[in-house]
Amino acid sequence: MKNFLLKKKAITFMLLLFIAKIGLGQFSFNGQMVDRFELRHGYGQAIEKGTDPAAFISQRIRLEGKYKVNKLTFYVSFQDVRTWGSTAQLKITDNLFSLYEGWAQIHFDSCFSLKVGRQELNYDNARFLGNVDWALQGRSHDFALLKYEKKDTKVDLGGGYNQDAESLTNNIFTNTNQYKTAQMLRIEQKIGKFDFSFLLWNNGRQFIVKDTAGKVTQKGIRFSQTFGLPTLRLQLKNTTLSAFYYHQVGKDIKNNSLNAFDISLQVSHVLKFNATKKNQLRITAGAEVLSGTSNAYTGKNNYSYSPLFGTNHMFNGYMDMFYVGGRHENSVGLIDAYLKFRYDFSPSAFIALNGNAFTAYAEVKKGPVTLNKFLGAELDLSGGYVFNKTISFQAGYSHFFGTPTIQYLEKAVTPDKVQNWAYLMIIIRPFSEKKFIGLYN
């Protein structure tokens, strides 16, 4: 019933915003729908012999409204995310409708503004901070940001403080896998054909210690810091040189000392064939190294890097074997060498083929035996077609060639010889320039 009332309030609010258009402000209304069919046979982790694959259709619908008046921008986005069939046909309500974003931005002048409320933090290549658009529920933060923007310079400074609910006592935050408090500084600068950014993120995680009777004997916040250069990019005619670097220090949730990093180097070249049809071939080669800790290590240091709030589906292969949904976290790390090809028939249609080779960064031990660090390889085939300004189609097929080493790390007993995944998606976004989802080429 509460969710039903939320839906009514959301619709009423949108109608009020529409009526407000007649007044002093400026109102815009938008929405989107994404439907995706998936066939999972080894997606995320090795599937065992004799196990049936998963097949389903998932859907996201968002209603978005923006209202501008008197140096104020007000924005709300409501969404319904569901798997087809998860709600009975005759059910009057469910718990699938929620607020995705809801924020207000005060514009002090042409450069400074303050943005407060539930909002996406989507920066750079989305490796550390992303909106996770591939996961239909997305990711948004309860945050406040002081923003500065003038010509080629952007600065964002802000933070958030989280609690489970309003209370008269108790200060323990129990929402799992989230920070209790966080602070961020990000600087972006463009100089001619070169642009770069700097990021500093302070992450505070709640920890508690209980005795045998379940009573809390110790509590507090453990802080880790991630800093680095998320964007380093130089454009030289048809060639793009890019890189990023992150480093993590401080304490993890288990009170181990952190000393981890993520570094990537990449070169991309575009071959243009027909100026009229605008068809071209983009070839990209690169590598990413995420530090890790040997599975035999028993010390008090943690060398395993975590991309925390990134859109990780776009990296390390589309089958999401690494760093998606907590997979491969606090593990042996990863060295990912890749080669990518993308051919654009026109601005409306493309086909792409990516190849990745995965190796463990740290030593992998199976008892006294040291295993080969090679984890496997992956091929990703994807394509997309923009039907019109509103509707686009996207599809993909991926195949993973695993080794005994990754199967040991995943605790696979008798993995199937064939590990693959396929999807087909329709994307409806009337006023968005982003026509495809989850691709990084």
For residue 436 the two structure tokens come to 């495809």
> What domains sit in the chain, N to C, each tagged with a CATH number?
28-56+102-163+178-428 (2.40.160.100)
The pairs formed by 171-176 with CB atoms below 8 angstroms and a separation of 24 or more are 172/206, 172/208, 172/216, 172/219, 173/206, 174/206
pLDDT the model gives residue 441:
66
pLDDT the model gives residue 22:
46
The tens-digit pLDDT sequence of the chain (441 residues) is 555 565 655 666 555 555 555 455 688 889 999 999 999 999 999 999 999 999 999 999 999 999 999 999 999 999 999 999 999 998 888 889 999 999 999 999 999 999 999 999 999 999 999 999 999 999 999 999 999 999 999 999 999 999 999 998 888 998 888 999 999 999 999 999 999 999 999 999 999 998 888 888 899 999 999 999 999 999 999 999 999 999 999 999 999 999 999 999 999 999 999 878 889 999 999 999 999 999 999 889 999 999 999 999 999 999 999 999 989 999 999 999 999 999 999 999 999 999 999 999 999 999 999 999 999 999 999 999 999 999 999 999 999 999 999 999 999 999 999 999 999 999 999 988 899 999 976
Cross-strand pairs, 282: 270, 342
pLDDT the model gives residue 10:
61
Q: What is the gyration radius of the CA atoms in the chain, in angstroms?
A: 23
